[in-house]
Amino acid sequence: MEKNISVVLFDLGRVLMHIDFDAFPNGLGLTTPSLRSQYDQKKVQQTVRSYETGNSSTEEFFDSLYAIFQQQFSREQIRNAFDGIIVSDNVEIVPFVEQIRQQYRIAILSNTCESHWEKVLRISSVIKMFPDTFTSFHLGVMKPEKNIFEKVCALLHVEIGSVIFIDDLQENVDGARAAGMKGIVFHNADQLQKDFQWYSSISHLK
């Protein structure tokens, strides 16, 4: 028999909030592949990953980007462009969140960094609906690694099999399922509602 759902765990970007990864290079005027290729994009990605796992501070992160971009942009320009990735709430999903939080415990699990998280807290109304939030930079590990899902369940004091995880990336949902959670790949609010109802029915929940 399926284990009852006790927690609905949401990804943040492209589920609860709109994000735009192109806003970062575009915000620096790097609007074409040729302009972007002038800089070490792999090193930028590695630097971001280190920041998102809490292995570097905000100051160290922007100092690193300042060096990677060869001092062509100020730290303020870099930070403003980087924070431009966080756009706005996904209002489409609000009715679903409001509906299920009447019956289930809800929480957020996001691969993110301190600078982006600070902007989310400043601009998001959706975030205020969630009593429990978990971020990769606080936990020191990122989705889809098994350890991050286990850490969240330990902090929530729930069995991993009683959690349903919603994320826009298949690889993250696969990671959650491999750890023992249920999982739904998010495409839009209507599809999410249908998929969640299916899980609820097989879990014998009303």
CATH number of residue 116's parent domain:
3.40.50.1000
Is residue 176 included in any domain, yes or no? yes
**Confidence (pLDDT) at 200:** 79
User: What is the predicted pLDDT for the residue at 206?
Assistant: 41
Whether 153 maps to a domain, the answer reads: yes
Do residues 29 and 119 both lie within one domain? no
| Beta carbons of 55 and 141 less than 8 angstroms apart | no
- The reply to whether 14 and 28 lie within a common domain is no
64 and 37, same domain (yes or no): yes
Number of independent structural domains in the chain:
2
Residue 1 lies in a domain: no
Q: Are residues 13 and 29 both part of a single domain?
A: no
If asked whether residues 111 and 159 sit together in one domain, one would say yes
Same domain membership, residue 93 and residue 76: no
In a domain, 34, yes or no: yes
Q: Do 134 and 116 share a structural domain?
A: yes
Residue 33 maps to a domain:
yes
Tokens at 51, concatenated: 């920041």
pLDDT in tens, the chain (206 residues): 356 899 999 999 999 999 999 999 999 999 999 999 999 999 999 999 999 999 999 999 999 999 999 999 999 999 999 999 999 999 999 999 999 999 999 999 999 999 999 999 999 999 999 999 999 999 999 999 999 999 999 999 999 999 999 999 999 999 999 999 999 999 999 999 999 998 877 765 44
> Is 40 among the domain residues?
yes
* 12 CB-side CA count, 13 A: 31
The separation between CA 176 and the C-alpha centre of its own chain, rounded to angstroms, equals 14
- 69 and 115 belong to one structural domain: no
Amino acid residing at 57:
S
Asked if residue 162 and residue 110 are part of one domain, the reply reads yes
Q: What are phi and psi of 78, to 5 degrees?
A: -65, -45
Q: Which helix (H) or strand (E) holds 162?
A: none
- State whether residue 12 is helix, strand or coil: coil
Same domain, 184 and 167: yes
Report pLDDT for 203.
62
Both 11 and 29 in a single domain?
no
41: containing domain: 23-83
